[in-house]
């Protein structure tokens, strides 16, 4: 299986890109909200991505969900201090 380029739209990850396994249509991302994850779903559109020859699949923010059994260290994006 190959990877597909994804562009996230909306939520705290707006504009970020990532790669997912081919066929993935739902993505959970780290959230700033304690105990929650951001939920993104494919909407069937593609968008050009600066610096990439291939278009990315657009995943739109559809809300947040409880992190459930995810380990606490996986629930929040690390922050860098200047």
pLDDT in tens, 10-68: 999 999 999 999 999 999 888 888 888 899 999 999 999 998 898 999 999 999 999 88
Distance from C-alpha of 36 to C-alpha of 32, rounded to nearest angstrom: 8
Q: Report the pLDDT value the prediction gives residue 34, as an integer from 0 to 100.
A: 81
Sheet holding 3-9, edge to edge: 17-21, 3-9, 56-66, 36-47, 26-30
pLDDT reading at 73 higher than 90: no
Q: Report the pLDDT value the prediction gives residue 71, as an integer from 0 to 100.
A: 66
User: Greatest CA separation found in the chain?
Assistant: 39
Distance from C-alpha of 28 to C-alpha of 37, rounded to nearest angstrom: 6
Whole-model pTM: value is: 0.81
Say whether 9 sits in a helix, a strand or coil: strand
pLDDT reading at 72 higher than 90: no
């Amino acid at each position: 299986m190959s990877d597909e380029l994804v562009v996230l739209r909306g939520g705290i990850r707006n504009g970020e890109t990532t790669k997912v396994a081919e066929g993935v249509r739902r993505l959970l991302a780290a959230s700033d909200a304690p105990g929650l994850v951001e939920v993104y779903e494919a909407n069937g559109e593609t968008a050009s991505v600066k610096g990439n020859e291939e278009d990315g699949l657009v995943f739109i923010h559809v809300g947040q969900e409880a992190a459930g059994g995810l380990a606490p260290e996986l629930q929040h994006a690390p922050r860098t201090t200047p």
